[in-house]
């Protein structure tokens, strides 16, 4: 697939999720659509208390806010915000004086997240339709960046990391939950559109991922947690923290 085809496949698949065309399965760690239950990947009961019911779409691979210190009044950016679960968890921490911004490529996801926020009274959260490779935000306007199982889907990961660094203030923090590869993946897998949108064939080697972060200007890069998935050979989810110089 070329990049345009990748974007289209992403919007089609995640638009389907946003519309609820694939009913969410419960009770298992990973269902046939690759969805994971929040409490199984690092969220706490406290995190999930008070957030809109439709915000948890079970599409993450970790809980990036677990490894990020957030202060009241901070401005937080979520790359690929989906139904808004991480934005709403962050919104409770930044308080009324803070702000949370979610960016997502899929229009249906943005609409769903906006409705979730409006129905639950979250007035310190904003959801924007856009690309993480071209963030519609000013330089040095963000205190912390989070993302949950999204950057593996981005064709130009170097550009995405560079954009995240651009909008962060000096000393700003970033925490990413994502899928990486730990070895070679079959060529056949890499050619399947469904494997790409399932966060598999777009994933890159962990070492390459961390190097791209370094090249974008991040320092103190640390893999806080790694979990290899036994049913997906050579794939792992990682939780990575770093700072902007």
Q: β-pairing, 99-104 with 75-79?
A: parallel
Segment 75-87 shows an average pLDDT of: 96
pLDDT recorded at residue 31: 41
pLDDT digits (tens, 9 = 90+) for 182-199: 887 777 777 788 888 989
Q: How far apart are CA 184 and CA 124, in angstroms?
A: 43
Q: How far apart are CA 40 and CA 19, in angstroms?
A: 24
pLDDT recorded at residue 166: 98
Q: How far apart are CA 57 and CA 33, in angstroms?
A: 11
pLDDT digits (tens, 9 = 90+) for 207-218: 999 999 999 999
Segment 222-236 shows an average pLDDT of: 83
Residue 231 has pLDDT above 70, yes or no: no
Length of the chain: 245
Q: Per-domain residue ranges for the chain?
A: 3-22+44-244
pLDDT recorded at residue 27: 35
Distance of alpha carbon 180 from its chain centroid, rounded? 13
Task: Please say whether the structural domain 3-22+44-244 has been given the CATH code 3.40.50.150.
Answer: yes
Q: Which of 35-49, 81-95, 126-140 has the weakest average pLDDT?
A: 35-49
């Amino acid at each position: 697939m070329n990049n345009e085809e990748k974007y289209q496949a992403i919007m089609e698949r995640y638009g389907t999720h946003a519309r609820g065309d694939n009913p969410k399965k419960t009770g298992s760690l990973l269902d046939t659509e690759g969805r994971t239950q929040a409490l199984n990947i690092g969220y706490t009961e406290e995190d999930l208390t008070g957030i809109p019911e439709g915000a948890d779409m079970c599409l993450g691979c970790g809980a990036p806010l677990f490894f990020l210190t957030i202060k009241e009044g901070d401005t937080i950016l979520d790359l690929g915000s989906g139904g808004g679960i991480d934005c709403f968890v962050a919104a409770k921490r930044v308080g009324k004086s803070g702000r949370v911004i979610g960016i997502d490529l899929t229009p249906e996801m943005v609409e769903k997240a906006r409705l979730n926020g409006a129905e639950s009274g979250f007035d310190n959260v904003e959801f924007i339709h856009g690309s993480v490779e071209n963030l519609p935000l000013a330089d040095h306007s963000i205190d912390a960046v989070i993302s949950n199982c999204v950057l593996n889907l981005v064709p130009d990961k170097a550009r995405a990391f560079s954009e995240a660094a651009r909008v962060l203030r000096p000393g700003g923090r970033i925490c990413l939950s994502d899928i990486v590869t730990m070895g070679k993946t079959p060529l056949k897998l890499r050619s399947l559109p469904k494997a790409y949108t399932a966060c598999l064939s777009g994933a890159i080697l962990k070492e390459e991922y961390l190097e791209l972060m370094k090249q974008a200007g991040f320092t103190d890069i640390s893999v806080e947690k790694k979990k290899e998935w036994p049913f997906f050979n050579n794939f792992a989810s990682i939780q990575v923290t770093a700072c902007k110089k």
